């Protein structure tokens, strides 16, 4: 999986917004996303998702809101679980996933956890069986709101997670 870092929300197949109990990241200006996150109380449980189908306002085929759970329980494991939930909710879309970083944890810790969750969480132990999915659904991960040094850390995490999945096979 290729990893990129950018300051602005790019065009992507899936756009993931982490939702903490205090709401969506400041970068998110979509009123529909804010309304759905509040109505469905997405931020209250780790890995709770809501999939939105944008009507052209956002440059993505799907928008996935994913809960991070209570603020006092937020750690890298919660982000791994959230990223795995996004992979599961949007696996049929695949392609490019853009993840909007927030201020919940240090960016380097977020990047590693997101990559681990996407790659390790989308692993299928039955992939050698007939009709199983062939590989993880996302070819490219774009971290929105990070720095270039974050890219190297995320790429290393992707290499380690890919190796772990090969060892599982």
Quick one: which of 96, 100, 93 has its CA closest to 68? 100
pLDDT of residue 167: 84
Q: What is the pLDDT of residues 133-157, one digit of tens each?
A: 656 678 899 999 878 888 888 888 8
- Average confidence (pLDDT) over 108-112: 91
Percent of the chain with pLDDT strictly greater than 90 = 30
Which pLDDT belongs to residue 75?
A: 93
Mean of the per-residue pLDDT values of the chain: 84
Taking the CA atoms of the chain, what radius of gyration do you get in angstroms? 15
Question: Which string of DSSP letters, residue by residue, matches 14-39?
Answer: EEEEEEBTTBS-TT---HHHHHHHHH
Residue with tokens 């006092």: 72
- Looking at the predicted structure, is the pLDDT value of residue 73 above 80? yes
- Cβ neighbour number for residue 35 with a 10 Å cutoff: 10
pTM: 0.84
Which residues are bridge partners to 16 per DSSP? 64, 99
């Amino acid at each position: 999986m290729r990893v990129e870092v950018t300051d602005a929300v790019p065009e992507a197949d899936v756009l993931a917004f982490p939702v903490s109990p205090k709401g969506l990241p400041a970068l998110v200006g979509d009123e529909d996303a804010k309304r759905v996150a509040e109505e469905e109380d997405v931020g209250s449980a780790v890995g709770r998702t809501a999939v939105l189908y944008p009507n052209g306002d956002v440059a993505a085929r799907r928008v996935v809101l994913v809960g991070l759970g209570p603020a006092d329980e937020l750690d890298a494991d919660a982000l791994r679980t959230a990223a795995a939930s996004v992979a599961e909710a949007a696996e049929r879309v695949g392609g490019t996933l853009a993840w909007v970083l927030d201020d919940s944890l240090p960016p380097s810790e977020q990047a590693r956890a997101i990559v681990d969750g996407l790659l390790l969480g989308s692993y299928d132990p039955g992939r050698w069986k007939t009709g199983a999915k062939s590989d993880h659904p996302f070819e490219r991960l774009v971290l929105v709101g990070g720095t270039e040094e974050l890219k190297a850390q995320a790429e290393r995490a992707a290499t380690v997670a890919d190796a772990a999945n090969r060892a599982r096979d």
